[in-house]
Structure 1
Amino acid sequence: MLPTTASERMLSRGLLDVLIRAGLITILAISCYQVFYPFLNLMLWALILAVTFYPLHGMLKNRLGLRDGYVATLIVLVSVGLLMVPVYLLGVSMAESVQGALELIKGGEWHIPAPNESIAGWPLIGQPLYDFWQQASADLTSLLKTLMPHLRGVGLTLLGKLAGVGAGFLLFIAALIVAGLLMAYGANGTRSAVQIATRISGPDRGPQIAQLCTATIRAVAQGVVGIAFIQMLLVGVGFVVMGIPGAGLLALVVLLLGIMQLPVLLITIPVIGFVLATEGATVGAIIFSIYIFVAGMSDNILKPMLLGRGVNVPMPVVLIGALGGMVTSGIIGLFIGPVILAVGYMLFWHWVEDQPKDTTADDETTA
């Protein structure tokens, strides 16, 4: 039914104008998102790094008396330099481990001992495991030829994961450079963040929300990702110096366990047992064991120093963020996921706890 009166026609025309504007804004927002999507992880990672390093930027600026751009450049160069040495050592160790394993298998010098006959009596898996172990012990070459089609697929998958790790490292370097640019204009960025939060939540809650997001990003980045990275460096350097097979891969597993808030002792204790079993109770083995054990427990010392600071993020939130980020965005999502989910978690509870006062109850009390 068509509008008959002038007021109805004006109302219909106004509603049509609103719908057209909303549609155009939606199309523009979707188009901007599609254009920006390839750089989303890069910019999120850069923003996290910029927010995390900005207090250090301010401290160095006050002490050195340099401009913002020079201080940001100094932080980026020093960070890249500190990253390249351990990453290079871990990469070389990983390549040598893979090459050594391939040469050992090709040379036929690797011998698997025969299984114990009691294994065949294990329920369900005993006999198949015994037969497989016996075949590997008697003729490893033919067994590898039989498994080669399956191993090829697993190898390609592992190579793809390693390529993803390399791409993630390059993305991290690029994000670090972008973070330097953001820190160089940190004052303007802080004002912009407060203005955006104020526009969304009002002048009273906007600055509080901006401060909450900043504190959450720094707490999770320093207390979760930062501690896990420090543990990886400490443990990984020890593995490389001791010549542990697959030291680079084990160091990456240490990093994953640290981000997922799982104990690094799951890796360090078996490695200590392996060293003591192969090297014996030598001075070097004992020193290595003590160092690796302390490095695996270093998160208990670092967490009170770096984690928290007024922000309490439960461990399941960090774990879900790490796993979900890794599933959706690969290795880089493992770092970004916990930060994003922690920010959302803190904003949600800030909204839940920000309840308006019950004025009716106050009036009844007064009366």
Structure 2
Amino acid sequence: MQTEDLQRKAFVALLVAVSAAFLWVIFPMFGAVLWGVTFAILFTPLHKRLQASLRLKPTWAAVLTTLLVLLLVVLPAVLVSGMVVQEASTLVEKLRSGEIDLGAYYRQLMRALPAWATRLLEGAGLGDLSSVQERLKQSAAGGSQPIAKRLWLVGQGTLDFAVNFFVMVYLLFFLLRDGPRLMQRIRHATPLDPAVQARLAKNFSAVVRSTVKGNILVALLQGALGGVALLVLGIPGAVLWAVVMAFLSLLPAVGAAMVWGPIAIYLLSMGQVAQGVGLIAFGTLVIGLVDNLLRPILVGKETRMPDWVVLISTIGGMSLFGINGFVIGPVIAALFIAVWDLTTDDSSATPEPSQKPTP
């Protein structure tokens, strides 16, 4: 008995050590693995539908699904990234040449503000553009260090980006093809009750699908609407600001307004009252309505998480893991809620000990 117990403990220690070593080895490819798994979860229903409707073998269905992911997701992202880089370089060139004078705009904005707002900004040390630029520079320097470290781990240059991209696509193909068999092996090896495994797997898949699908659709729609509005108003770099709005829209309730709000204030300070009021109305009634109506339907309906939990977990996840955190944070929060729900259900389902009848 002592020998068997010692062997069991040694095997558990070996299992933990090997698993930790494997995670350590694949950690530099963390982003590629994360998005490969995420895309596999998102597009598994499409893979099954293609396999059933076209009567394809799993391998060819996985090939077709992977090509559709590249065509519908990756290619548009690459094209938009190119447009953003071009607009950003044009905007920087205009700032350097003096065609866009931020100092003059800031002074005009300060003159347009009421006296109490001006005194408040001056008291906070924001009375002139140079102090604002210095504070932004310090904040950017402090906040960019952990992001730079993570980017250094994920990919260093074009070659590493290509390697990570190849790993993501390669992993996506095999997860689509061999996903059911892999899940069976994981469930067989996991020492949990089958009902608990099924519930956790369902919650995990639901939260990944709803978080990525819901947040990305809401972000894309808000960014597109905001970009069209800025394009109509003639704001320089409309595509760039649309992408910034899309990224900020990943944060529930506070996202896109962080872009169109200051632009509306700028328009009002420049004397363009109709444009500024129109942008505020459009941002509040249209862009904000997208967030208030679609996000609970696409995200909250499946995850059943309150908005404040989604907001906190998203911000916390992005502060720890960068852009990948908008998936990791809500997933961890959803699994946390699911595990505690299971604990509560198990506790409530446990019958109380019967009391002996009194004589």
Report the TM-score when normalising by structure 2: 0.71
Confirm or deny that 1:93 pairs with 2:98: no
1:168-192 deviation per Cα after TM superposition (whole angstroms, max 9, x unaligned) = 996995676246414531xx31343
Of 218-227 and 63-72, more deviation after overlay is shown by: 63-72
Of 32-41 and 170-179, more deviation after overlay is shown by: 170-179
Aligned-residue offset at 1:221: 1.8
Of 13-22 and 82-91, more deviation after overlay is shown by: 13-22
Q: 1:37 to 1:362 in 2, by over 3 A?
A: same
Query: Which of 50, 69, 72 is matched with 2:40 structurally?
Result: 50
Q: Percent identity?
A: 22
Of 258-267 and 286-295, more deviation after overlay is shown by: 286-295
Aligned-residue offset at 1:326: 2.1
| 2:40/2:176 contact within 8 Å kept | no
| 2:218/2:291 contact within 8 Å kept | yes
Q: 1:115 to 1:343 in 2, by over 3 A?
A: closer
Of 43-52 and 268-277, more deviation after overlay is shown by: 268-277
CA distance in structure 1 between the partners assigned to 2:47 and 2:329 by the alignment: 25
Aligned to 2:69: 75
Q: 1:341 to 1:123 in 2, by over 3 A?
A: closer
| 2:66/2:173 contact within 8 Å kept | yes
Give the letter aligned to residue 15 of structure 2: I
CA distance in structure 2 between the partners assigned to 1:239 and 1:23 by the alignment: 59
> Aligned pairs, how many?
340
| 1:194/1:206 contact within 8 Å kept | no
| 2:265/2:276 contact within 8 Å kept | no
Aligned-residue offset at 1:37: 1.7
Aligned-residue offset at 1:312: 0.1
Q: Cα RMSD (Å) of the superposition?
A: 4.6
Of 198-207 and 113-122, more deviation after overlay is shown by: 113-122
Query: Which of 299, 305, 324 is matched with 1:307 structurally?
Result: 299
| 2:95/2:101 contact within 8 Å kept | no
Aligned-residue offset at 1:314: 2.0
Q: How does 1:207-226 map to 2 (within 5 A)?
A: 207-226=198-217
| 1:90/1:236 contact within 8 Å kept | no
Aligned to 1:267: 259
Unaligned ranges ≥5, structure 1: 1-9, 137-142
Q: Secondary structure at the match of 1:200?
A: coil
Q: Which has the larger radius of gyration?
A: 1
Aligned-residue offset at 1:96: 1.7
Give the letter aligned to residue 72 of structure 2: V
CA distance in structure 2 between the partners assigned to 1:226 and 1:315 by the alignment: 17
1:86-114 deviation per Cα after TM superposition (whole angstroms, max 9, x unaligned) = 33333322222222112118999957459
Aligned-residue offset at 1:214: 1.3
Q: 1:91 to 1:287 in 2, by over 3 A?
A: farther
Give the letter aligned to residue 73 of structure 2: S
CA distance in structure 2 between the partners assigned to 1:121 and 1:76 by the alignment: 51
CA distance in structure 2 between the partners assigned to 1:106 and 1:97 by the alignment: 8
Q: Secondary structure at the match of 1:353?
A: helix
Confirm or deny that 1:350 pairs with 2:336: no
| 1:49/1:179 contact within 8 Å kept | no
1:181-229 deviation per Cα after TM superposition (whole angstroms, max 9, x unaligned) = 14531xx313432442353322333223322221222122222344224
Q: 1:275 to 1:197 in 2, by over 3 A?
A: farther
| 2:227/2:242 contact within 8 Å kept | yes
Q: Secondary structure at the match of 2:349?
A: coil
Report the TM-score when normalising by structure 1: 0.70
CA distance in structure 2 between the partners assigned to 1:241 and 1:176 by the alignment: 38
Confirm or deny that 1:192 pairs with 2:186: no
Q: 1:223 to 1:351 in 2, by over 3 A?
A: farther
Give the letter aligned to residue 97 of structure 2: E
| 2:252/2:310 contact within 8 Å kept | yes
Give the letter aligned to residue 342 of structure 2: H
